[in-house]
Amino acid sequence: MPKDILLAGHLRKDYMLDFVVIGAGQAGLAMAYHLKKMGKKFLIVDGGKEIGASWLNRWDSLKLFTPTEYNHLPGLKFDAPIGHYPSKYEVAKYFKSYVEEYEFPVQLNTLITSVRKERRGFSIVHHDGEFTAKQVIVATGPFHTPYTPPCHRRVSEGVLQMHSNFYKGPRQLQPGDALVVGGGDSGYQILNELSQDRSRTVYFSGDTKVKSIPQQFLGKTLWWWFTKTGALSFNKYSWIGKKLSSTTQPVIGTDVQEILDRPNVLCTGRTKDAFEDEIHFESQTITTIKNIVWATGYRPNFEWIEGLELDADHYPKNFRGVSNIDGLYFIGLPWMYTRGSATLGGVSKDAAYLAEVIS
């Protein structure tokens, strides 16, 4: 990008870009690869303070479910041994290397607050100013606003509460019993970690009938089997894709039953309400809980995009990333086209398709 369009390291307001890419995670970087190949004038903007911030903000022991060989972004292999499951730190390092390798123009600490289609293009507003671009690619991913059930407001101030988005490790907890709410991958991984300390009773409020799948089967990785059987290639418009996308996803790489069988793990059923130290569940009330980790997911937030049509789940209506607004595209959404659309290894196919659309 020409240096004369920058002022104090920031893009001049009057400069018209071909594209602004919102989000510097795997989806935004995969699109940037194609935009650079096409010779487009573009800028990646991200609200984080560094590349990979969205990964570094997760809990310390987080690792990918996919081994190295299935985590490559277009044009640059993930530098780790085959069969290795990278940590969040390795993912962030890979993203930084990717940006450096292709010298992508990135502006960090830039949270976009509104996107509006105008006559000449798009107005992209942030806290310190505004960009203008002919087209916009939104790559903010599926995790936006951490959701915590309303009953958390009625819990005593003496109980430490945090959403899984802010959980880093057991060191954050105060002495005493803990409760993990939420039966997805995050919930079970956190339950597994907290219950390693057998001196602490950990209550679990989540789906105990969820299926779990090992990362290795008959000497091959799960993703090897997924690739061979085509399980990651079914699109959401096919009969199988519709079935898969509407069912509860299995927990990957975590032995759910072994965790639930631990003597210090007690299942409570659904969390119904709370009042001070009393946490009410389906069939009991517990008063000894001193820590709660809410692994209760996220809610999408696309209200900052003017004129965007949303579906029943509040995600943008689109076909393979093409929205109802001419010139506005999406990438990295869950099941945007296939099961792999929101994954590090799967986003490349969607990026290649979208590059063909916009070329």
Under DSSP, is residue 94 helix (H, G, I), strand (E, B) or coil? helix
Alpha helices, DSSP H, located in the chain: 26-37, 53-56, 88-102, 185-194, 222-229, 239-246, 256-260, 347-358
- Same CATH topology for 3-144+300-358 and 146-211+248-294: the answer is yes
Q: Are 67 and 128 in contact (CB under 8 A)?
A: no
Under DSSP, is residue 14 helix (H, G, I), strand (E, B) or coil? coil
pLDDT at 50: 96
Q: In whole angstroms, what separates CA 103 from the centre of its chain? A: 24
Domain 146-211+248-294 is of which CATH architecture? Answer: 3-Layer(bba) Sandwich (3.50)
CA–CA gap between residue 159 and residue 342 (Å, rounded): 34
CA–CA gap between residue 357 and residue 165 (Å, rounded): 34
Domain ranges of the chain: 3-144+300-358, 146-211+248-294
Please say whether the structural domain 3-144+300-358 has been given the CATH code 2.60.40.10.
no
pLDDT at 351: 96
The two tokens of residue 280 are: 């009410």
* Buried-state track 50-74, b at ≥16 Cβ within 10 A, e below 16: ebbbbbbebbeebbbbbbbbbbebb
Q: Are 160 and 291 in contact (CB under 8 A)?
A: yes
The two tokens of residue 123 are: 């107005």
Task: Detail the DSSP E strand segments found in 52-138.
Answer: 106-107, 112-117, 122-126, 129-138
**Could you give the angle at the alpha carbon of 349 between the alpha carbons of 348 and 353, nearest 5°?**
115
Q: Which helix H or strand E contains 303, and what residues bound it? A: none
CA–CA gap between residue 347 and residue 338 (Å, rounded): 10
- Determine if residue 269 is left, alpha or beta; phi over 0 gives left, psi from -120 to 50 gives alpha, anything else beta: left
pTM recorded for the entire structure:
0.89
pLDDT at 184: 87
pLDDT at 329: 98
CA distances from 243 to 173, 207, 248 (A): 39, 20, 10
pLDDT at 7: 45
Place of tokens 């063909």: 356
Can you give the pLDDT of all 359 residues of the chain as single tens digits? 544 444 444 566 668 999 999 999 999 999 999 999 999 999 999 999 999 998 999 889 988 888 899 899 999 999 999 989 999 999 999 999 999 999 999 999 999 999 999 988 999 999 989 999 999 999 998 888 999 999 999 999 999 999 999 999 999 999 999 999 998 889 999 999 999 999 999 999 999 988 877 666 666 666 666 676 666 677 777 777 677 667 777 677 788 999 999 999 999 999 999 999 999 999 899 999 999 999 999 999 999 999 999 999 899 999 999 999 999 999 999 888 787 888 888 899 999 999 999 98
Q: What letter does residue 339 receive in the DSSP assignment?
A: T
pLDDT at 220: 66
pLDDT at 8: 42
